[in-house]
């Protein structure tokens, strides 16, 4: 994917994660430049239908994207900068909410909805020498707060 924004201008940004929407109508991708892209499932696939550049800090890989199916039009993104952001798919301008202090040292860390989508969960990781344990953190997907 060729980028057009920020420090990554004109370079190809590798896709670091992707997911279908639960209803199968969209494909979402996160890149190593911190951008989110959406394609309709029927294509064309040469250029995304929707692009949100620099959703996370430039050149910071997004590790996970997860779309809701509950009519809220939400997309969750997880990034190696230790944040999870909640986006409104109808307007990608600014996140509805951003959560920090969710450290990950792995570029494959996930964010997931519960089966009924009332909650979403994020696992944190710690460095081997740390005395602190990793955590599993839950958020209410309606209030966007911890339950």
10-residue stretch averages of pLDDT, the chain, 147 residues long: 48 86 92 91 86 84 92 91 93 90 87 95 87 90 93
Task: Report d(CA 13, CA 8) in Å as an integer.
Answer: 8
The predicted pLDDT at position 105 comes to: 84
Bridge partners of residue 39, in order along the sequence: 27
Strands 36-40 vs 26-31: parallel, antiparallel or unpaired = antiparallel
Task: Report d(CA 96, CA 67) in Å as an integer.
Answer: 14
pTM of the model: 0.86
Distance of CA 137 to the CA centre of its chain: 16
Q: DSSP class of residue 12? A: B
All structural domains of the chain, each given as residue ranges with its CATH number in brackets, are 6-111 (2.130.10.10)
């Amino acid at each position: 994917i060729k980028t057009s924004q920020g420090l990554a201008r004109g370079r190809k940004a590798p896709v670091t994660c992707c997911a279908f929407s639960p209803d199968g109508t969209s494909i979402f991708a996160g890149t190593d430049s911190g951008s989110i892209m959406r394609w309709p499932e029927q294509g064309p696939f040469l250029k995304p239908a929707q692009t949100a550049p620099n959703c996370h800090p430039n050149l910071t890989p997004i590790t996970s994207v997860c779309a809701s199916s509950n009519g809220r039009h939400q997309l969750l993104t997880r990034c190696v900068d230790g944040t999870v952001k909640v986006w409104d798919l109808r307007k990608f301008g600014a996140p509805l909410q951003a959560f920090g202090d969710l450290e990950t040292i792995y570029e494959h860390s996930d964010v997931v909805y519960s089966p009924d989508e009332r909650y979403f969960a994020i696992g944190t990781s710690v460095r081997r020498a740390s005395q602190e344990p990793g955590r599993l953190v839950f958020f209410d997907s309606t209030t966007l707060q911890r339950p």
